[in-house]
């Protein structure tokens, strides 16, 4: 993979020639368990190979050194956080000593501008054994992941998002990769907060096999059950991340139906959920359906606007605002009630096929500007 010259130049300038070349070399030669698709990433999962670390809990027991290979380490950072990789983070010995059933503390520990910790776990059956899969996220800024990478990682091209998934199900690395790669296309890749881009995004999934099921090594009933459980977790996390966006007051869910193909449905849903004008209208509880059609129009998707229907739905009811690409009479008062709820569905029917897609986001508020106006200071 060829790294962008400007990226290499900046790394060499910021880290120094020797260390910068080592880091660029790591990026240019991905580790076996990670397919690197984003050259803007820092390659922190390979830093232990570049700068050998020692962690507590080695062969001699607690407190003795243990060498850790790069394939066993993955790090995530958000906001203004930085890790040089040249020394062991001071908190690691304490983390090792206190390892245990503390997912709630972990969920809280990775928060930045999140307003509350988020965690979920579900159970399913594989090979006659009860298995569990769960996850914790950190994510309050930016937009949708784009491409998949690695054995349990994705590259969210437009999202300040860290997600850590764990399962006790025995599943091979190849099938774990296949499950996550397939899932993220319609989950994390469909989350949008503000349209900005971060270099720190990741989703990691760890499987230890302690459930005792026969290892999942090929498609079948057990793999289908695993994928279904994984999707239950990731969809819930998507909604949580979107609803807790920076300054957000409402969760937005855009459901597109009637598309000629899945790609068109995804493109339209993401365009709408990424629209600043749509987000601002939802903040003001304004049923401005024209902004929805505008976002569809500039999405680039092959859509016949003269067939498009638009409606808004929430716990307060449903209001249809557009039929066949044209506005229809509706009660502004009723529409306001619908849009004042905490969770809003934007329903779009393209009436051109049977495919559909869903995207998640939030409204754009005054507090978003306040939070990001003095993020560091």
Q: Report, as residue numbers or ranges, the catalytic residues.
A: 160
HEC string for the chain: CCCCHHHHHHHHHHHCHHHHHHHHHHHHCCCCCCCCCCCCCCCHHHHHHHCCCEECCECCECCCCEECCHHHCCCCCCCCCCCCCCCCCCCHHHHHHCCCCCHHHHHHHCCCCCCCCCCEEEEEEECCEEEEEEEEEEECCCCCCCEEECCCEEECCCCCEEEEEEECCCECHHHHHHHHHHHHCCCHHHECCCCCCCCCCEEEEEECCCCCCCCECCCCHHHHHHHHHHHHHHHHHHHHHHHCCCCCCCEEEEEEEEECCHHHHHHHHHHHHHCHHHHHHHHCCCCCHHHHHHHHHCCCCCCCHHHCEEEEEECCEEEEEEECCEECCCCHHHHHHHHCCCEEEEEEECCCCCEEEEEEEECCCHHHHHHHHCCCC
Kindly give, in sequence order, each residue whose CB lies less than 8 Å from that of residue 100, ignoring residues fewer than 6 positions away: none
């Amino acid at each position: 993979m060829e790294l962008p010259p400007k990226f290499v130049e900046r790394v060499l300038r910021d880290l120094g020639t020797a260390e910068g070349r080592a880091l660029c070399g790591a990026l240019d030669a991905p580790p076996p368990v990670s397919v690197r698709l984003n050259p803007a990433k820092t390659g922190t999962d390979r830093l232990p190979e570049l700068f050998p670390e020692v962690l507590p809990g080695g062969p001699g027991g607690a407190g003795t050194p243990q060498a850790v290979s790069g394939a066993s380490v993955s790090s995530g950072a958000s906001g203004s956080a930085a890790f040089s990789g040249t020394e062991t983070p001071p908190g690691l010995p304490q983390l090792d000593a206190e390892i245990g059933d503390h997912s709630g503390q972990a969920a809280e520990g990775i928060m930045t501008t999140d307003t509350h910790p988020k965690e979920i776990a579900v159970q399913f059956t594989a090979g006659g054994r009860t298995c569990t899969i769960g996850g914790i996220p950190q994510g309050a800024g930016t937009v949708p992941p784009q491409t998949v990478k690695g054995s349990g990682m994705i590259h969210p091209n437009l999202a300040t998002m860290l997600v850590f998934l764990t399962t006790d199900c025995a599943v091979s690395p190849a099938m774990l990769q296949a499950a996550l790669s397939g899932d993220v296309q319609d989950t994390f890749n469909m989350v949008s907060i503000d349209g900005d881009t971060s270099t720190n995004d990741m989703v990691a999934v760890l499987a230890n096999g302690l459930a005792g099921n026969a290892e999942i090594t090929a498609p079948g009933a057990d793999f289908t059950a695993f994928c279904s459980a994984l999707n239950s977790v990731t969809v819930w996390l998507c909604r949580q991340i979107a609803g807790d966006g920076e300054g957000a007051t409402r969760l937005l869910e855009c459901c597109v139906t009637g598309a000629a193909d899945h790609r068109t449905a995804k493109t339209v849903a993401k365009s709408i959920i990424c629209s600043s004008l749509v987000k601002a209208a939802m903040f003001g509880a304004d049923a401005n359906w024209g902004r929805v059609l505008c976002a569809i129009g500039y999405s680039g998707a092959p859509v016949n606007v003269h067939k498009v229907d638009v409606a808004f739905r929430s716990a307060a009811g449903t209001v249809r605002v557009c039929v066949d690409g044209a506005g229809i009479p509706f009660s502004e008062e009723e529409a306001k009630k619908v849009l004042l709820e905490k969770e809003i569905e934007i329903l779009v029917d393209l009436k051109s096929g049977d495919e559909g897609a869903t995207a998640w986001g939030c409204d754009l508020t005054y507090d978003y500007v306040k939070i990001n106006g003095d993020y560091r200071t």
